[in-house]
Amino acid sequence: MAPHATDENRDRHQQSMPTDSALSIAYIMKSLSLEEKCQLLSGSNMWETKPLPRLGIQALKTTDGPAGVRGSRWVDGTHTTHIPCGISLGATFNPDIVRRVGNILGSETKRKRSHVLLAPTMNISRSPFGGRNFENFGEDPYLTGIMARAYIKGVQEEGVGACMKHYVANDQETRRFNMDEQIDERTLREIYLKPFHMALQADPWTAMTAYPRINGEHADTSEFLVKKVLREEWGYNGLVMSDWGGLNDTIQSITATTDLEMPGPPIRYGEALRKAVLSGRVSETDHINPSVGRLLKLLARAGLIDSVKDAGSESTVKNTQKHICEDDEVELDDPATRRIVRQAASEGIVLLKNNNLLPLSPSNLRKISVIGPNAKYPTTGGTGSAIVNPYYTTNPYESILEVVKTSKHNVEVAYERGIFTHLQPPLIGDCLTAPNTGNPGFQVDFFDSECFEGDVVATTNWQNSLVYFMSDGDVPPSLQGKRYSYKASGILRPSVTGTYDFSFSSTGKAKLYIDGELLVDNTNWTQISGNFMNCGSVEQFASKELEAGKSYLVRVDNLVVPPPTRPHDNTLFHKISGVRVGMLYKHDEEAMFNRAISTAKDADVVVLVVGHNNDTEREGSDRMSLFLPGRTDELVSAVCAVNKSVVVVTQSACAIAMPWKEEPAAILHAWYQGQECGNAIADVIFGAVNPCGKLPLTFPERIEDHGSHKWFPGNAETDHAEYGEGILVGYRWFDAKKIEPQWPFGFGLSYTTFEIANVRVSRTSGVAEDICATVFLEITNIGEVQGSETIQVYTSPSKAISEAGLEVAPRSLAAFSKVEVSNGETKTVEIPIHREAFAWFDVDGKEFQVPGGRWRIDPGNYQCFVGTSSRDIVSTVVITVE
């Protein structure tokens, strides 16, 4: 429910600022010129706000992101902990482990000399095709709100800020900067805004607006969304920033109370904002000062405002200039962090099927065949804002091998890839070394010309065959804002003689050479791909014979010019420059496939690891199919045809089709597990961890069954999208339309068996109290091993909704509790049901005789469904709301 803000709510946000800063802030506000105020409301570079040394104001440094703390460099930055993706954290149904992961992120934010972590992502997995679903917590707003609240608390307990994003409805990648999403207000309130309102209980330091238009207005320019709902109704007095390049209008954004334009240098705030004030279109008193006040409170909370008497000192000036320096970022890979991340990763894995094959025991096995494109090269995380440089990664093959070695049993572990599923060959990796250092990767030489001539202005090094200039900090200062050129070069030493396929994608006008021979001319490209945030060319391909051990000079010449993209509203991403060179030995793919089948035939058990990758599921583009890429389904069926003891491990950020689901003995869905991917999968397969993950979204049998299918992603030519399914998102659609899903929301098996009994309700009361009722039940572990079960409580809707002729979801998640139970043990569980579970948004507001709509809770009897998924209901009780 979304009640009006109270004085208590407003005071809570205001009192979070240190009281000893109040005088400094008041003094600073009076001392600031209009020009300084407008500069403070915009970034100074990619990640920092503008410092003001004369008044003791230091720069606030932000950092991505949702899968780990990246630091100041987009690619090849300092190492960090790579946590499981958001959808995997959602699958844990465990706010406590999410909070502990948040603690890790908060600590690493400080070590990266940053003050605000740009996370969590709180958007809804509206469609299985959403390219950024890996960042979300799932399809249900209540689950998302609970997990986001825990994440934010964990981060901020370490003394740094979190950023709830993207406010609101950032649910697709297709034309994401311009798409106008038509969402009726009831749906907007009950589904897409609800998690953000719930998250305010954690007091997030900041919020970030979304890219798309919502009902005709960009989120950052919407007085309805930011000023009316977020600030006036909910009482949020924290800082609201734009997404990167997503500040859309000087006047409308500031009047909507969007405080900060990121990144810098400013385009629509800064000098443009000052001129708007001088022309009378913006009020310094009503618009500028409140935003500056919120920024100063954030800076004070982060400890970035020196005392007034020390303002302007030499030490202050040095402090304001140092935060962006990557050298100041500290790395710390400690065992305690590894254990928590490994637990979080394993808790998110969902056991979908098990015909008594799992868990495996090395003592009973002679040979394990590990097969699949994701077995040695798993997808550990998403792209874009979720890219990090991890301390290490683990893969299923090596982790399985380690378990077998540790067991000291004589078990053969065979491996075959079977198929390729990438859309572009992988980066060249350790086969490539920079000429100037001998370290892996490319050397980049910059020229102050458009023809690669003259002196080299500067040289930088990149760890692989990917060069990615995301910010001005990646480019020499003398070249910023100018047309320039650069050469990326490296020494390639292949390990196998044969034919190699090269792929090449670039921004700008680029050419790829090998030993001076032109291999790909990409100077006149016109077709956009998802590379470089939708600013790069589609892959161009060429092949070349190479000899093992011989050295070849790989060189890319790139003239930096804007990409030929369709017009869009973002002010940042068209400035990106980069090149990507992929290389792959030309395998006989049919022979690869056949070797995998042959390896599977004589194995005692097969672990087949398949799924999506960073080509097929990524930020910047939406998926196009429910099916796994390439010949995946064919491979699964072929392996299952020759071996009945097959464990299929799938990786994806959202629902996938499994036309073969009846064929394997066991199925695990593993999401993207970060650095502990391999270890977490092995822990579950061998029973070191009893699986307890639950699906945070519905898996349909076919995409036509999904509620979003008819409307997602909308019309890319007209930039128009209808949220036509309304409130019937995810499982609500399947329940309302009586469609059987492939796997239901909340579903997940265990290696043990639980019994739920004696379900009852007590403490039924009126709506004046926060808790309407408490559900009591007993859960018994009748199996042989300790395990955890997630009890889920769903409630029926008010009868008044259907009587008004509105769409009705038969049941909605109202509460859940994850309970660990030893074998043979019985536990009593209490689950409080809060009044918000019965609230719905009456757009007409007729009940209250006021315009604009209101939240309402109708008296009456409500069914309360208790179970272990949205479809596995073990008991139904009645709650009376008076």
Of the pLDDT bands very low, low, confident and very high (cuts 50, 70, 90), residue 2 is: very low
User: Cα separation of 154 and 138, whole Å?
Assistant: 20
User: Cα separation of 829 and 818, whole Å?
Assistant: 10
Of the pLDDT bands very low, low, confident and very high (cuts 50, 70, 90), residue 76 is: confident
Of the pLDDT bands very low, low, confident and very high (cuts 50, 70, 90), residue 470 is: confident
Q: Taking the mean position of all CA atoms in its chain, how far away is CA 298?
A: 24
Using alpha carbons only, what angle is made at residue 468 by residues 464 and 473, rounded to the nearest 5 degrees?
120
CATH superfamily of 351-423+588-689: Glycoside hydrolase family 3 C-terminal domain (3.40.50.1700)
Q: Are 582 and 506 in contact (CB under 8 A)?
A: no
**What is this structure's pTM?**
0.94
State whether residue 523 is helix, strand or coil. coil
User: Cα separation of 129 and 452, whole Å?
Assistant: 42
User: Cα separation of 808 and 803, whole Å?
Assistant: 10
Tens digit of pLDDT for each residue in 132-167? 999 999 999 999 999 999 999 999 999 999 999 999
**Percent of the chain residues topping a pLDDT of 70:** 93
Of the pLDDT bands very low, low, confident and very high (cuts 50, 70, 90), residue 632 is: very high
User: Cα separation of 343 and 94, whole Å?
Assistant: 11
Q: DSSP readout, 723-750? A: -TTTT--THHHHHHTT---SB-TT--B-
Tokens of 174: 């297709």
The confidence score (pLDDT) of residue 771 equals 84
On the 0-12 / 13-18 / 19+ scale of CB atoms within 10 A, 361 is: exposed
Topology adopted by domain 754-881:
Immunoglobulin-like (2.60.40)
Cβ count near 424 (within 10 Å) = 20
Q: Taking the mean position of all CA atoms in its chain, how far away is CA 609?
A: 22
At 579, the amino acid letter reads V
Q: Are 306 and 297 in contact (CB under 8 A)?
A: no
Cβ count near 559 (within 10 Å) = 20
User: Cα separation of 13 and 115, whole Å?
Assistant: 18
The confidence score (pLDDT) of residue 769 equals 62
Comparing CA positions, the residue from 635, 701, 658 lying closest to residue 375 is: 635
Q: DSSP readout, 767-836? A: TTSSEEEEEEEEEEE-SSS-EEEEEEEEEPPPHHHHHTT----S-EEEEEEEEEE-TT-EEEEEEEEEGG
Q: DSSP readout, 551-602? A: -EEEEEEEE-----PPP-S-SSGGG-EEEEEEEEE---HHHHHHHHHHHHHT
Tens digit of pLDDT for each residue in 325-359? 556 899 999 999 999 999 999 999 999 999 999 99
N-terminal to C-terminal alpha carbon distance within the chain? 17
How far from 618 is each of 173, 624, 742, CA to CA, in Å?
A: 9, 12, 24
- Residues of each domain in the chain carrying CATH 3.40.50.1700: 351-423+588-689
Cβ count near 330 (within 10 Å) = 12
The confidence score (pLDDT) of residue 307 equals 60
What is the 3-state composition of the chain as percent helix, strand, coil, each rounded to the nearest 5?
30, 25, 45
- Residues of each domain in the chain carrying CATH 2.60.40.10: 754-881
Cβ count near 251 (within 10 Å) = 17
The confidence score (pLDDT) of residue 310 equals 40
The confidence score (pLDDT) of residue 326 equals 55
User: Cα separation of 785 and 790, whole Å?
Assistant: 16
At 71, the amino acid letter reads G
Tokens of 35: 């020009």
- Residues of each domain in the chain carrying CATH 2.60.120.260: 429-585
- Residues of each domain in the chain carrying CATH 3.20.20.300: 7-324
User: Residues near 406 by Cβ (< 8 Å), separated by ≥ 6?
Assistant: none
Instruction: Give the pairing of strands 432-433 and 485-492.
Output: antiparallel
Question: Which residues are known to be catalytic?
Answer: 243
847 pLDDT higher than 80: no
The confidence score (pLDDT) of residue 10 equals 37
Give Dmax over CA atoms of the chain in angstroms: 82
State the average pLDDT over residues 684-712.
98
Of the pLDDT bands very low, low, confident and very high (cuts 50, 70, 90), residue 882 is: confident
Q: Which stretches does DSSP call E strand in 393-492?
A: 412-416, 432-433, 442-447, 456-462, 466-469, 485-492
State the average pLDDT over residues 788-802.
96
User: Cα separation of 256 and 210, whole Å?
Assistant: 14
Of the pLDDT bands very low, low, confident and very high (cuts 50, 70, 90), residue 75 is: confident
The confidence score (pLDDT) of residue 317 equals 30
State the average pLDDT over residues 95-102.
98
Query: What integer best gives the mean pLDDT of the chain?
Result: 92
At 810, the amino acid letter reads P
On the 0-12 / 13-18 / 19+ scale of CB atoms within 10 A, 604 is: middle
At 138, the amino acid letter reads G
On the 0-12 / 13-18 / 19+ scale of CB atoms within 10 A, 750 is: buried
The confidence score (pLDDT) of residue 65 equals 87
Tell me which residue has tokens 């660990």: 820
Q: Are 209 and 157 in contact (CB under 8 A)?
A: no
CATH of domain 429-585: 2.60.120.260
On the 0-12 / 13-18 / 19+ scale of CB atoms within 10 A, 449 is: middle
The confidence score (pLDDT) of residue 646 equals 98
Tokens of 589: 């793919």
Instruction: Give the pairing of strands 62-63 and 116-117.
Output: parallel
What interhelical angle do 22-31 and 289-301 show, nearest 10? 140
State whether residue 220 is helix, strand or coil. helix
The confidence score (pLDDT) of residue 410 equals 94
Tell me which residue has tokens 């390729």: 420
Q: Are 469 and 558 in contact (CB under 8 A)?
A: no
Tens digit of pLDDT for each residue in 352-408? 999 999 999 999 999 999 999 999 999 999 999 999 999 999 999 999 999 999 999
SS3 sequence, 307-348?
CHHHCCCHHHHHHHHHCCCHHHCCCCCCHHHHHHHHHHHHHH
762 pLDDT higher than 80: yes
Q: Which stretches does DSSP call E strand in 172-290?
A: 180-182, 206-209, 213-214, 217-218, 239-241
The confidence score (pLDDT) of residue 284 equals 97
The H or E element spanning position 646 is strand 646-651
Q: What class has domain 7-324?
A: alpha beta
Of the pLDDT bands very low, low, confident and very high (cuts 50, 70, 90), residue 324 is: very low
256 pLDDT higher than 70: yes
Using alpha carbons only, what angle is made at residue 90 by residues 87 and 91, rounded to the nearest 5 degrees?
90
The H or E element spanning position 253 is helix 250-255
User: Residues near 339 by Cβ (< 8 Å), separated by ≥ 6?
Assistant: none
Comparing CA positions, the residue from 706, 704, 701 lying closest to residue 728 is: 706
765 pLDDT higher than 70: no
State the average pLDDT over residues 657-661.
98
Q: Identify the sign of the CA torsion 377, 378, 380, 383.
A: positive
Encode burial over 86-98: b for 16+ CB neighbours within 10 A, e otherwise: bbbbbbbbbbebb
Cβ count near 547 (within 10 Å) = 12
The H or E element spanning position 506 is strand 498-506
How far from 207 is each of 166, 197, 533, 795, CA to CA, in Å?
A: 8, 12, 22, 30
User: Cα separation of 63 and 78, whole Å?
Assistant: 12
850 pLDDT higher than 60: no
Instruction: Give the pairing of strands 771-781 and 826-834.
Output: antiparallel
State the average pLDDT over residues 284-299.
97
How far from 236 is each of 227, 289, 758, CA to CA, in Å?
A: 9, 16, 42
**Percent of the chain residues topping a pLDDT of 90:** 86
Q: Which stretches does DSSP call E strand in 231-290?
A: 239-241
